[in-house]
Chain A
Amino acid sequence: MAEQVRHLVDAVYRSDSRRVLATLIRLLGDFDLAEEALHDAFAAAVERWPSDGVPGSPRAWLVSTGRFKAIDAMRRRARFDASVGELARRFDAAANDAKELEAGDGVEDDRLRLIFTCCHPALAPDAQIALTLREVCGLTTEEIAHAFLTPAPTLAQRIVRAKAKIRDARIPYVVPTHAALPERLDQVLRVIYLVFNEGYAASSGASLTRHDLSGEAIRLGRLLVELLPEPEAMGLLALMLLHESRRVARTSPTGELVLLADQDRSLWDRDQIAEGTALVERALSSRRIGPYTLQAAIAAVHAEAASAEATDWVQIVGLYDVLERVDPTPVVELNRAVAVAMRDGPAAGLAIIDALLARGDLDDYHLAHSARADLCRRVGRTADARRSYQRALDLTRQEPERRFLERRLHELGLNV
């Protein structure tokens, strides 16, 4: 019996501890106090549920137990420190109007509050990521440090500083107002996408042991869509799912990088593609179309093609045209050039890339040079191709990409 309850407590911890934490932060007004209270509440559950029985609503029980434990701890401290007394009185007052938490109202909002607070633009970008993974996803400091190849003490300090700024500069625990929402949502999406890309880029070769950041980012994306079904939140989730669907196909069994055109499409995850495509359609139907949705739409066109040749390149170039208007960046122009090369032939794409590089915007971007090299190779300009592959090789820092480029250079060498 006790064993069963123990398992149940573990299950509740996994499913609900972040929700309970989010509500405790609101009630207690402090991240550290709330974490302590969360810990105490689960310890109390392990102790009391075997004899008292499991409460009807474990989550509400944990919230109210956590809150009372925090108030108790405050009172005890208040005997030694008068300034804490004021805080304890404030919590007592808050406890009286806390009936809403049993009704469950506002509890979902608490999770949104937590996300928006962790991703507040007044926090340093790396602190936003660390805090989100720690507080919203519940990863340990060690797990996050390992995933980002950062020493644990550095990461811990980043989190401590962020929490101190939230407290001292008084970053409010709120969902942004309607007027501020688009910008703030953008910030949240950026954090989630950074987490995803960190995991995606690391998913091959030497870094297989890193925590599954892409999976964590997708979970975050799902949570956000559930709490705030904004078109771009759906677009980002779709984009991540569609990229993730190719994970197995994008590396060979020996850890070599496999380009989209050469991937074994039977390895693509059909469930993720179906979910991603449905989300793209939902986001597109909103008519408030942003860059994540457009990138997801492009990924969805790739996903439905049986092969690189059978891909609807006309549609892909069309989507890039829109993306270029919404998000006019050199990287988007580069990707569009590659799509144009597929639609109109390599020479047409090459002309665009050469113009881009002449502007100097992408001179340090290895993918610009490897794309140019590939197009030069296809039009038979071997010497130019070799030069561009070499430049890309000088710029890349990722091991699988390096090996890929070396392979290409080697092939060109044999062809001469």
Chain B
Amino acid sequence: MKYLCMIYSEEGAWGKMPPAEQEKWLGEYFAFSDGIKKSGHYVGSNALQPTPTATTVRVRNGKVSTTDGPFVETKEQLGGYYLIEAKDLNDAIQVAARCPGARHGSVEVRPIIEYERP
């Protein structure tokens, strides 16, 4: 079963970090990615540009409206994700607990619904 592990953290914190510390975190993320590739959990992952780059799009009555910023303003923002394959929620929780994001922020684990085409 697939789970999406969404990493939420305060995005301002990254910019305030000294380069050495940024490098340390990046190294941990690379090591984590390699680890879950080896264990067969890894399906995909991406980091996101910070929320000032976000645009929210809606179509109402056929009209497209775009607004600046994320869908909701929150204290901690979605900064990246890992899509993983796990046996069950316990397995997924163990993977999420190893993610560096669980230490500098929080990781929300959500099961993926897989629809079959009719």
Contact = CB atoms under 8 A, between A and B. Distances in A.
Interface stretch (A172-180, A274-282, A319-327, A398-406): A172-180
B90 A176 contact: yes
Contact of B111 (A170, A174, A180): A170
A260 interface: no
A206 interface: no
A172 B87 contact: yes
A168 B109 CA distance: 12
Contacts of A169: 89, 109-111
A180 B110 CA distance: 21
A170 B112 CA distance: 11
- Place the interface of chain B in its size category: under 10
Interface in B93-118: 93, 109-111
A234 to B, nearest CB: 26
Nearest to B88: A172
B57 interface: no
Nearest to A121: B93
Interface in A141-192: 168-172, 174, 176, 180
A119 to B, nearest CB: 13
A168 B111 contact: yes
A171 B88 contact: yes
Nearest to B91: A172
B26 interface: no
A122 interface: yes
A170 B1 contact: yes
Contacts of A120: 89
B89 A180 contact: no
A85 to B, nearest CB: 14
Nearest to A173: B88
Contact of A174 (B1, B90, B93): B90
Contacts of B88: 170-172
B5 to A, nearest CB: 13
Interface residues of A, dominant DSSP? loop
Interface in B66-94: 87-90, 93
Contacts of B89: 120, 122, 169-172
Contacts of A180: 90
Interface residues of A, number: 10
Contacts of B93: 122
Contacts of B1: 170
B90 A172 contact: yes
Nearest to A172: B88
Nearest to B93: A122
A171 B111 contact: no
Interface in A215-254: none
Contacts of A171: 88-90
A176 B89 CA distance: 12
Contacts of A170: 1, 88-89, 111
A176 B91 CA distance: 11
Nearest to B94: A180
A171 B1 CA distance: 11
Residue of A170, A171, A174, A180 most packed against chain B (CB within 10 A): A170
A176 B111 CA distance: 20
A171 B91 CA distance: 9
Interface in A182-211: none
A226 B86 CA distance: 32
B21 to A, nearest CB: 29
A167 B43 CA distance: 22
A120 B92 CA distance: 14
Nearest to B1: A170
A171 B87 CA distance: 10
A325 B111 CA distance: 40
A120 B89 CA distance: 10
A287 B76 CA distance: 43
Contacts of B110: 169
Contacts of B87: 172
Nearest to B86: A170
Contacts of B109: 169
A176 B90 CA distance: 9
B97 to A, nearest CB: 10
B11 to A, nearest CB: 26
* A-B CB proximity, top 6 nearest: A172-B88, A170-B88, A169-B111, A171-B89, A169-B89, A170-B89
21 contacts: A120-B89, A122-B89, A122-B93, A168-B111, A169-B109, A169-B110, A169-B111, A170-B1, A170-B88, A170-B89, A170-B111, A171-B88, A171-B89, A171-B90, A172-B87, A172-B88, A172-B89, A172-B90, A174-B90, A176-B90, A180-B90
Interface of B: 1, 87-90, 93, 109-111
Given A122-B93, A170-B1, 17 more contacts: A120-B89, A122-B89, A168-B111, A169-B109, A169-B110, A169-B111, A170-B88, A170-B111, A171-B88, A171-B89, A171-B90, A172-B87, A172-B88, A172-B89, A172-B90, A174-B90, A176-B90
